[in-house]
Amino acid sequence: MKTHDYPGIKDIARLAGVSIGTVDRALHNRGRVACDTKRRVEEIARQIGYKPNLMARSLARKSRTTVAILVPDPVQDEYWQQVWSGFESLFSISEHQGIYVRKFFYSLDDQDLFSKFAEQIINEKPDGLIMAPNYPDSGLKLFKECEKASIPVIIFDTNLPEINPSCFIGTDLYQSGMLCAQLLEMITHRQGNFAIFHIDAPLSYSHDMLEKGKGFNDYIKNNNSKRSCLSFMIDSQHNMEAQLDAAFKNNVAGCFVSTSKTWIIGEYLKKRKHADIKLVGFDLILKNIELLKEGWIDFLINQNPQQQARKSLNTFINHFAFHEEIKADEYFPIEIITKSNLMSV
């Protein structure tokens, strides 16, 4: 370890012939500094290439920051589990920077809980909020109240289109629908139609599904495909097989599932031995991975839940600890996963 010394506020003070207190005030526009000294100090700081030591700064400031995270309960499903593990992976670093996380887990079928937490968050006045607005109305309301309280908000996973500019971190749903269409088109050799399956659409997901479906449809329409797209809403709780049997009567050559429930169609294809029907869908959850390996699912789109989560929290770390600005929307790469690149994820 070398002791590579950088100029500090003390050096500036010496060179400018003032005290460190004055330097501090001059550099931070805290007023009460003669215009003249201020200029001199700034000039010297620039000349010697002064960079504040941020560790010392936050030590001295003794500032502790709270970031609230409002997301679906990870015990509920694997996708949100992956999200949470992404957040967790940064907790040690964030705490080292004096940034503490307050978590709020709502249920995907309990809008009231979401609203209750929204209220609680407003009351607790955190320094930042990361939220997955699965309930767009309540989400929008919370966003606006945070705005009023000037609490920065990162919108996570699903965007709120009403807000502009916002800071969204997630994937472009429409685009990922297009991508699935392209892939399906590329790998489907035989003639036939494409089927879009929306499985078990709860209120809190319907927006996502439709957006993806739209992307899929538009790609097919705009790329002079000879195929038609048929959409099916499937309720996996009641008579699912009958619903699927009916759907597959339409000469289906390729399927697109708009959610992680891709495995439901995969298992159906396996059971019915439809080896020549292609299937693409979403998310690297265990059941999907299994079917991908076996060849019943051809492509999975990975929305990169861990990384999205890390990026979100990291944005706040950089903001609060390093005073970087929070940039506007950041769309995440849409990852294509197939048998051969699965293990590398």
- Give first-to-last CA distance, the chain, whole Å: 35
The one among 117, 156, 219, 316 contacting a copy of itself by CB under 8 A? 219
Contact between 221 and DNA by CB under 7 A: the answer reads no
Nearer to a copy of itself, 18 or 337 (CB): 337
Nearer to a copy of itself, 55 or 246 (CB): 55
CB 111 within 8 A of CB 203: yes
- The alpha carbon dihedral of 110, 116, 118, 124 has a sign of negative
Site for DNA in 40-79 (CB under 7 A): 50, 52-53, 56-57, 59-62
* 245 vs 212: CA distance, rounded Å: 24
Number of other residues whose CB lies within 10 A of the CB of residue 308: 22
Q: How far is CA 179 from CA 215, 296, 300, 302, in A?
A: 8, 19, 11, 12
Site for a copy of itself in 232-261 (CB under 8 A): none
Beta strands in 184-249 (DSSP E): 193-199, 229-234
Binding mask 104-143 for a copy of itself (x = CB under 8 A): -----------------------x----------------
Minimum CB–partner distance for residue 6 and a copy of itself (Å): 8
CB 175 within 8 A of CB 168: no
Minimum CB–partner distance for residue 49 and DNA (Å): 12
Q: Label the pairing between strands 335-337 and 330-331.
A: unpaired
Contact between 328 and a copy of itself by CB under 8 A: the answer reads no
* 130 vs 273: CA distance, rounded Å: 44
Nearer to a copy of itself, 178 or 255 (CB): 178
Binding mask 4-33 for DNA (x = CB under 7 A): -x--xxx------xxxxxx-xx-xx--xxx
* 10 vs 43: CA distance, rounded Å: 15
Contact positions toward DNA, by CB under 7 A?
A: 5, 8-10, 17-22, 24-25, 27-28, 31-34, 36-38, 50, 52-53, 56-57, 59-62
Contact positions toward a copy of itself, by CB under 8 A?
A: 1-5, 51, 53-56, 58-59, 62-66, 92-93, 95-98, 100, 127, 171-172, 175-176, 178-179, 181-183, 186-187, 189, 219, 298, 318, 322, 331-341, 343-345
